[in-house]
């Protein structure tokens, strides 16, 4: 199974996987993965503003004769 480009809405999600394996080394397996949203840090817009300022200064400096 392949999951690609899955866009989930806000909320918490749990992915549970379980099954059995046959053969001489057979057995059962189970697993769980909990996904929670990651909040945007308050400093992120400040970081972007600083990077844009540096890029603007470099662009202005490169345009001077």
- Domain boundaries in the chain? 13-63
* pLDDT, mean over the chain: 81
Residue 50: other Cβ atoms inside 10 A = 11
Using one digit for the tens of pLDDT, what is the confidence trace for 45-61? Answer: 888 999 999 999 998 88
Residue with token string 């202005």: 60
Residue 1 has pLDDT above 80, yes or no: no
Is the pTM higher than 0.85? The answer reads no
Residue 38 has pLDDT above 90, yes or no: no
Taking a C-beta distance cutoff of 8 angstroms, is the pair 19, 29 a contact?
yes
**What percent of the chain shows pLDDT beyond 70?**
92
């Amino acid at each position: 199974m392949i999951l690609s480009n899955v866009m989930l809405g806000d909320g918490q999600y749990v992915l549970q996987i379980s099954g059995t394996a046959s053969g001489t080394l057979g057995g059962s397996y189970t697993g769980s993965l909990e996904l929670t949203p990651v909040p945007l840090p308050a400093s992120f817009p400040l970081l972007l503003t600083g990077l844009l300022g540096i890029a603007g200064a470099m662009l202005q400096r490169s345009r001077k004769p």
